[in-house]
Amino acid sequence: MVLDPVRTAEIAANLAEVRRRMTAAARRSGRAPGDVRLVAVSKTYPLTDIAAALAAGQHDFGENRLEELWPKVAAAKAEGLDAIRWHMIGTIQSRKTGDAVGPLTLIHAVDRVKIAQRLSRDAQAAGCVLDVLLEVNVSGEASKHGFTPTEVTTVAADLLALPGLRVCGLMTMAPFELAAEATRPVFRALRELRDELAVRFPAGDWRDLSMGMTNDFEVAIEEGATIVRIGSAIFGSRNG
């Protein structure tokens, strides 16, 4: 694989700036910068961009669609890019849960009981346990996927008991706001919900909060995000 040196330098500079902003946000809220993981959202971007980011020290990459994810996983393996940690950050359709079983670091968007049950079934059949996050629609927007806060509290015990899944925390998508500060109540509500679940269901592992994207990740970090999902601030504007 031949990397364009100009593009490689651009991605490295963008990553450095994102990390600088992440560090500043963590310190503003009295947190250690190392407590927040950056997932570079690589959907629609070519493998050369991923390789450039990897060369700049970025190891976690997120894809939205299984049909794009697995060809990239295979291509990266063929190129010897074994240090990549892959995340599935998009919604999984019920008929495709079997396709989600594979070498993934984390599945971010388990948004229904049915999906959780099928993922557990398929993981058991494959002899593995999947690390997942439960997606919560904190804002209540009709266009957003996920459990309501009440629903996730009601079903948490059943989901924690599924043998093929390891629930590691919560995920949300805030509404797009021109002023990032307007997203703060959404992120704060998810953190408070996580804290409540950790008290009510102490057998669970509720360590992760996946929240915050390019337009609002600093606010998300200030409110407790442990994972931020950033694409365009690293790779530039996308098509598709």
Task: Among 7-16, 34-43, 137-146, 189-198, name the one with the lowest average pLDDT.
Answer: 137-146
**Strands 37-41, 60-63: parallel, antiparallel or unpaired by DSSP?**
parallel
Residue 83 exposed, middle or buried by CB count within 10 Å (0-12, 13-18, 19+): exposed
3-state helix, strand, coil in the chain (%, to 5): 45, 15, 35
Asked if 156 and 201 count as a contact pair (C-beta separation under 8 A), the reply is yes
| Reported pTM | 0.95
Place of tokens 């459990």: 147
- pLDDT tens-place string over residues 154-184: 999 999 999 999 999 999 998 888 788 999 9
- pLDDT tens-place string over residues 24-67: 999 999 999 999 999 999 999 999 999 999 999 999 999 999 99
**How is residue 125 written in tokens?**
């059949």
Q: Which has the closest alpha carbon to 86: 57, 55, 59?
A: 59
Place of tokens 């407790």: 224
Asked if 138 and 172 count as a contact pair (C-beta separation under 8 A), the reply is yes
How far apart CA 197 and CA 191 sit, in angstroms, is: 10
